[in-house]
Structure 1
Amino acid sequence: MEWNTLLSAKRMRGGFYTAKKSADLRSEFEKDYHRIIGSASFRRLQDKTQVFPLDKSDFIRTRLTHSLEVSSFAKSLGQNIGQKLLTGNMDPGFTQQMKEDICHILQCAGLIHDIGNPPFGHFGELAIREWFEGNLKRLRFYGEPVEDILEPQMKADFYHFEGNAQALRLVTKLHYLVDENGMNLTCALLDTIVKYPVPSTGIDKSTGNIKDKKMGYYYAEREIYEEISRETGTGFCRHPLTYILEAADDLAYSTADIEDAFVKGYITYNMLVEELEKLGESCRCPGFDALEKIQVYYRRGQEKGIWNPESYAVKNWVVRLQAVLINCATDGFISNYDRIMKGEYDRNLFQGTYGEPLMKLLGEMAYKKVFCSNDIYKMEIAEGVILDFLMEKLVSAILYYDTDKKPTSMDTRVVSFISDNYVNAYRHQAKGKSEAEKLYLRLLLVTDYVCGMTDSYAKRLYQELRGIV
Structure 2
Amino acid sequence: MTRAARWARLLTTERLGAPGEARDPERSPFEQDTGRVTFSSAFRRLQDKTQVFPLSKSDTTRTRLTHSLEVASIGRSLGERAGRLLSAETLLPEGVSAQDVGAVVSAACLAHDVGNPPFGHSGEDAIRTWAARFLNAHPGLDLTLAEREDFLRFEGNAQTFRIYARTQARERDGGLRLTLPTLGTLVKYPCPSTSCGPDAGHAYAKWGYVQADAPLAARVFAGLGLTRQSGERERYVRHPLVYLMEAADDICYAVADLEDAYRLGLIGLRELLDVYANAADLGGHAWEEGAGEDHAAFPANRAARAKNRVIARLVDDTFDAFRAHLPEIEAGTFTSDLIHSIPEYAARYAPLKALARERGYESTRVLQIELAGYRALGGLLDALADAFVTRPDGHDSRKLQQLVPEEFYVLSPTPYHEVLARRARGRLLEHLSTYERLLTLTDYVSGMTDRYALETYQYLTGIKLP
Give the alignment's TM-score, normalised by structure 1. Answer: 0.87
Q: Is the 8 A contact 1:164 1:217 kept in 2?
A: yes
Once the two structures are superposed, what CA deviation does each residue of 1:106-129 show, in whole Å capped at 9, x if it has no partner?
111111001111111111111111
Q: Is the 8 A contact 1:195 1:242 kept in 2?
A: yes
Q: Distance in 2 between matches of 1:130 and 1:423?
A: 24
User: Residues 40-439 of structure 1 correspond to what in structure 2 (within 5 A)?
Assistant: 40-87=41-88, 89=89, 92=91, 97-139=96-138, 145-146=140-141, 149-176=142-169, 179-207=172-200, 209-235=201-227, 236-272=236-272, 283=278, 289-292=281-284, 295=287, 299-300=291-292, 304=296, 306=297, 308-309=298-299, 311-354=300-343, 356-357=345-346, 358-399=348-389, 407-425=393-411, 428=414, 438-439=433-434
Q: Is the 8 A contact 1:295 1:313 kept in 2?
A: no
Q: Distance in 1 between matches of 2:24 and 2:432?
A: 45
Once the two structures are superposed, what CA deviation does each residue of 1:38-69 show, in whole Å capped at 9, x if it has no partner?
21111111111101111121100011111111
Once the two structures are superposed, what CA deviation does each residue of 1:221-264 show, in whole Å capped at 9, x if it has no partner?
11111111010011110100100000001011221110000101
Q: Distance in 2 between matches of 1:105 and 1:61?
A: 24
What SS is found at the alignment partner of 2:154? coil
Once the two structures are superposed, what CA deviation does each residue of 1:9-34 show, in whole Å capped at 9, x if it has no partner?
222322666xxx77732121122122
Q: Is the 8 A contact 1:192 1:241 kept in 2?
A: yes
Q: Identify which range, 373-382 or 348-357, moves more after superposition.
A: 348-357
Q: Distance in 2 between matches of 1:398 and 1:454?
A: 22
Q: Is the 8 A contact 1:119 1:453 kept in 2?
A: yes
Q: Distance in 1 between matches of 2:136 and 2:373?
A: 23
Q: Is the 8 A contact 2:250 2:339 kept in 1?
A: no
What SS is found at the alignment partner of 1:425? coil
What SS is found at the alignment partner of 2:241? helix
What SS is found at the alignment partner of 1:225? helix
Counterpart amino acid of residue 322 in structure 2: F
How many residues were matched structurally?
Answer: 439
* Contiguous gaps of at least 5 residues in structure 1: 278-282
Q: Identify which range, 251-260 or 180-189, moves more after superposition.
A: 180-189
Counterpart amino acid of residue 230 in structure 1: A
Q: Identify which range, 438-447 or 98-107, moves more after superposition.
A: 98-107
Pairing 1:6–2:6 present: no
Counterpart amino acid of residue 368 in structure 1: E
Pairing 1:451–2:451 present: no
Counterpart amino acid of residue 329 in structure 1: T
Q: Is the 8 A contact 2:276 2:310 kept in 1?
A: no
Q: Is the 8 A contact 1:198 1:216 kept in 2?
A: yes
Q: Identify which range, 48-57 or 98-107, moves more after superposition.
A: 98-107
User: Structure 1 residues 275 and 414 mapped into 2: Cα distance closer, same or farther (>3 Å)?
Assistant: same
User: Structure 1 residues 461 and 26 mapped into 2: Cα distance closer, same or farther (>3 Å)?
Assistant: same
Deviation at 1:292, TM superposition (A): 2.9
Q: Distance in 2 between matches of 1:247 and 1:9?
A: 24
Q: Distance in 1 between matches of 2:351 and 2:55?
A: 27
Q: Is the 8 A contact 2:7 2:91 kept in 1?
A: no
Q: Distance in 1 between matches of 2:343 and 2:302?
A: 21
Deviation at 1:428, TM superposition (A): 4.9
Once the two structures are superposed, what CA deviation does each residue of 1:181-232 show, in whole Å capped at 9, x if it has no partner?
321111111111100011111113124x211100111111111111110100
What SS is found at the alignment partner of 2:403? coil
Deviation at 1:86, TM superposition (A): 3.1
Q: Is the 8 A contact 1:67 1:113 kept in 2?
A: yes
Q: Is the 8 A contact 2:188 2:208 kept in 1?
A: yes
Q: Identify which range, 391-400 or 66-75, moves more after superposition.
A: 391-400
User: Structure 1 residues 31 and 275 mapped into 2: Cα distance closer, same or farther (>3 Å)?
Assistant: closer
Identity of matched residues, %: 33
What is the aligned partner in structure 1 of residue 231 from structure 2? none
User: Structure 1 residues 338 and 437 mapped into 2: Cα distance closer, same or farther (>3 Å)?
Assistant: farther
Q: Identify which range, 349-358 or 50-59, moves more after superposition.
A: 349-358
Deviation at 1:76, TM superposition (A): 0.3
Q: Is the 8 A contact 2:68 2:113 kept in 1?
A: yes
Give the alignment's TM-score, normalised by structure 2. Answer: 0.87
Pairing 1:39–2:40 present: yes
Q: Distance in 1 between matches of 2:169 and 2:199?
A: 38
Q: Is the 8 A contact 1:301 1:313 kept in 2?
A: no
Counterpart amino acid of residue 462 in structure 1: Y
Deviation at 1:411, TM superposition (A): 0.6
Q: Distance in 1 between matches of 2:12 and 2:364?
A: 47
User: Structure 1 residues 297 and 197 mapped into 2: Cα distance closer, same or farther (>3 Å)?
Assistant: farther
Q: Distance in 1 between matches of 2:307 and 2:295?
A: 20
Deviation at 1:98, TM superposition (A): 4.2
Deviation at 1:85, TM superposition (A): 3.3
Q: Is the 8 A contact 1:211 1:238 kept in 2?
A: yes
Q: Distance in 1 between matches of 2:327 and 2:289?
A: 39
Q: Distance in 2 between matches of 1:426 and 1:178?
A: 7
What SS is found at the alignment partner of 1:412? helix
Counterpart amino acid of residue 109 in structure 2: G
